Amino acid sequence: MKCWFLLFLVLLSGFYTTAQEHSGDWDTYIMTVENKPVSVMVDLAFGSSAEAKAKPNAIIIRIKLLAVLQDGMPTDKETKVLNEVEDSLVTKLQGSLQATYAGRYTAAGVRDFYFYSNDTSGYKDIIAESLKKYPAFRWLAKTEVDTQKDNYFNVLYPTSEEMELIKNRRMVDQLRSKGDIITAPRRIDHFIFFKTEADRKAFALAVQDSGFVVENAGREQGIKDRPYSLQISRADKTDYDNINKVTLYLWKLALQHFAKYDGWETFVVRGADKE
């Protein structure tokens, strides 16, 4: 008997708590810039938080890595030390300036740490104190008035496509935690919203050629932007590679039809459930 435990892939807004109830929503993702990897760790909830509104100044700290691989990423041994450095910076800057840590960016042999604060007085002395135990690291630091949080949104925050991959990974991790066999094909439902009925029809025709079945087409009441909904399904595996290919195909096709791909849902398949 299949376990009909539905797992919903939340919208971007679902990652966030309200500004009054901000708590960190941390994630890490990898992207490629000029054929080199870039590692980003970011608090996805920071941008909509009360802290973001109240803290207009960015504090940016750049540390030159000591031991790097050919691709510019730190070695495992270096990573352990960098984690200690990060903890020290967070503790000191939070304690002295009530700074909020927003994330880090690692590429080409350097790691940049991003904080936001209302007070930046003596920030270099505070950073120097926090790095006193790590004299081998060379570092630079600066502050910027960043009321629009450009450093956060343009440097740290994932693009729409990267966010789709993050959401997929979270969904697959939920399935794994429930004992799911992610290599077992099963029905997966996808949801898309359109501006016009004509766009929805064109999209539906296109995906039917790829084996998708239209399950439901409706109109959302009180929705002005994209009121025309479409639910489609297909049997697929839920491993990272496969689900990324499926969802990115639908996401890009939705863009071509001025639509919004709104995620997927499925049920858990365990060993005894396989048919």
CATH code of 128's domain: 3.90.1170
pLDDT band at 14 (very low <50, low <70, confident <90, very high): very low
- pTM for the complete prediction? 0.84
Task: Return the higher-pLDDT residue of 58 and 225.
Answer: 58
In a domain, 174, yes or no: no
Domain shared by 121 and 39, yes or no: yes
Q: What is residue 121's predicted lDDT score, i.e. its pLDDT?
A: 97
Same domain, 189 and 105: no
Say if residue 41 is in the same domain as residue 139: yes
Is-contact 152 135, C-beta < 8 A? no
Residues 38-61 have a mean pLDDT of 96
Can you tell me the mean pLDDT for 171-196?
Answer: 96
Tell me what the pLDDT averaged over the chain comes to.
Answer: 90
Q: Is the pLDDT of residue 271 over 90?
A: no
Residues 89 and 149 in one domain: yes
Segment 148-158 mean pLDDT: 97
- For the chain, the domain total comes to 2
Please give the Cα distance from 255 to 99 (Å, whole number). 38
Instruction: Say how many residues make up the chain.
Output: 275
Residue 97, in any domain of the structure: yes
**Residues 185 and 112 reside in one and the same domain:** no
Pair (44, 132) in one structural domain = yes
Q: How confident is the model at residue 274 (pLDDT cuts 50, 70, 90)?
A: low
Q: State residue 4's pLDDT score.
A: 39
Mean pLDDT of 114-138: 97
The enclosing H or E element of 167 equals helix 160-177
pLDDT at 164 exceeding the cut of 80: yes
Does 187 lie in the same domain as 148? no
Q: In the predicted model, is pLDDT for residue 214 greater than 90?
A: yes
- Residue 10 in any domain: the answer is no
C-alpha angle 266-269-274 in degrees, rounded to nearest 5? 130
| Residue 166 pLDDT exceeds 80 | yes
In a domain, 166, yes or no: no
pLDDT score for 59 = 98
Which residue type is seen at 112?
Answer: D
Instruction: Average the pLDDT over 239-258 and give the result.
Output: 97
**Are both 140 and 226 inside the same structural domain?**
no
| Residue range of the domain that includes 257 | 180-273
| Final residue of a structural domain among 156, 172, 194 | 156
Judge whether 253 lies within some domain: yes
Query: Which pair of structure tokens corresponds to residue 181?
Result: 């066999």
28, 39 Cβ separation under 8 angstroms: yes
Please check whether residues 91 and 152 belong to one and the same domain. yes
**88: confidence class by pLDDT, cuts 50, 70, 90:** very high
Average pLDDT over residues 45-69: 96
Provide the pLDDT for residue 272: 57
In this predicted structure, the answer to whether residue 86 has a pLDDT above a threshold of 90 is: yes
Amino acid (one-letter) located at 61:
I
Tokens of 41: 């760790």
Picking from 156, 188, 213, the residue at the C-terminal end of a domain is 156
Task: Give percent of the chain with pLDDT exceeding 70.
Answer: 90
- Give the residue from 121, 156, 191 where a domain finishes: 156
Report how far residue 79's alpha carbon sits from residue 16's, in angstroms, rounded to the nearest whole number.
Answer: 29
The tokens of 148 are what?
């629009």
Same domain for 149 and 26, yes or no, is yes
71 belongs to a structural domain: yes
| Confidence grade of residue 220 (pLDDT, cut at 50, 70, 90) | confident
Spatial CA neighbour of 194 closest among 158, 232, 159, 162: 232
Say whether both 62 and 129 belong to one domain: yes
- CA 230 to centroid of chain Cα atoms: 25
